[in-house]
Amino acid sequence: MDNLKDIIIIGAGPVGLFTVFEAGLLGLKCHLIDALGAPGGQLNEIYPKKPIYDIPGHPEILASDLVDNLMKQISPFKPEFTLGETVIELTKDNEGIFTLMTDQGTMLRSKVIAIAAGLGCFEPRKPALANLEFFEKKGVDYIIRDPLKYKNSKIVISGGGDSALDWAIYLVNIASEITLVHRRTEFRGAPESVRKLMELSNSGKINVITNAEVTQLNGSEHLEGVVVSVEGGQPQTLDAQFYIPLFGLTPKLGPIAGWGLGLDKNAIQVNTLDYSTNIPGIFAIGDINTYPGKLKLILCGFHEATLMVQSAYKIIHGGKDPSFKYTTVTGIKPMQ
């Protein structure tokens, strides 16, 4: 039987990683499990080169750089990782010890489980196009991991939310030609992003087509073009090496949904005292949880993790309160 872990964290995104730091300050060691093959969660998987502006102390930081910094920050506490595996089963014995089993047969045990799984399992919302699957990985992308992949290429992006607008703006100096297609005239993105988009459109740097949608993909071995149908107008055929439909993600809790946790749609209900769930010993932090006033921001997840580990300490140490001290006084004490 595996040794008992202090805290098992399901999810190695930014909130899961920061939990390691806060737990380490209390002398608690963490083991993280993630279905992805590397730490970082959505930051590395979906938008590694996208700038983030609301991390305190960083006027602007790339998502991948934030992950790198978090990994450096937690390195003194020597976290353990199980990556590329999904937790499929959770049980609790009479002594209050949880046993987790992954789809690869890994078994881990702990008195405390922190679910920091972001949106849970997620998949992109795909447009209804006849030959869409054929062109996947042949010019159709749902997630932008490496912007330089599109250097000097003609790109068509579909969508009207923040992701579509932000990537269209970001790629304008990388791609040779960008067309943004949206079904409406109004955009759902942030007002500042809409303003930037329209400036680029007016200057001829981005082709914006509204009241329209992509209805056909053309090409043989690789995407060569798309057909755009415009409301009240004639279809347009555009040359394109890449088509990127950005209609958002469909979140799913996956196996977590069957663990008896209090749920509200696709989120786990928690007590804001310490972000505990209805099952003693299980906490939910970050985008996976819900409570009145919840904001899905990384910095809010950091706050939740900070309070959560205080209660985790009590569970691990038989109700004893942790001794809170400022790091400016104690510094960082690496684990042996």
* CATH label of the domain that carries residue 166: 3.50.50.60
Is residue 246 a contact partner of residue 163, using CB atoms and an 8 Å limit? Answer: yes
Q: Above 90 in pLDDT, residue 336?
A: no
Listed residues 221, 247, 273: the one ending a domain = 247
Domain count, the chain: 2
- Please give the backbone phi and psi of residue 327, each rounded to the nearest 5 degrees, phi first: -65, -20
Percent of the chain with pLDDT over 70: 97
| Domain membership flag for residue 296 | yes
Same domain, 254 and 172: no
pLDDT of residue 122: 62
Listed residues 247, 263, 298: the one ending a domain = 247
Q: Give ∠ CA 246-249-254 in degrees, rounded to 5.
A: 160
Same domain, 228 and 278: no
Question: What tokens does 278 get?
Answer: 């209805």
Q: Above 80 in pLDDT, residue 6?
A: yes
Mean pLDDT of 224-237: 95
Same domain, 193 and 265: no
| Domain membership flag for residue 72 | yes
Q: Give ∠ CA 85-261-100 in degrees, rounded to 5.
A: 30
Listed residues 228, 247, 266: the one ending a domain = 247
Same domain, 116 and 259: yes
Q: What is the β-pairing status of strands 51-52 and 61-62? A: antiparallel
| Domain membership flag for residue 207 | yes
Q: Above 70 in pLDDT, residue 2?
A: no
Determine which of 42-51, 56-65, 80-89, 312-321 has the lowest per-residue pLDDT on average: 42-51
Same domain, 77 and 163: no
Question: What tokens does 254 get?
Answer: 């996956």
**What dihedral angle (degrees, nearest 10) is formed by the CA atoms of 54, 44, 173, 124?**
-100
Same domain, 84 and 188: no
- Domain region containing 207: 126-247
Which tens digits make up the pLDDT trace of 131-190? 999 999 899 998 787 889 999 999 999 999 888 998 999 999 999 999 999 999 999 888
Same domain, 117 and 208: no
Same domain, 81 and 227: no
Question: What tokens does 16 get?
Answer: 């899961």
Percent of the chain with pLDDT over 90: 74
Same domain, 113 and 144: no
Q: Dihedral of CA 209/214/216/222: which sign?
A: positive
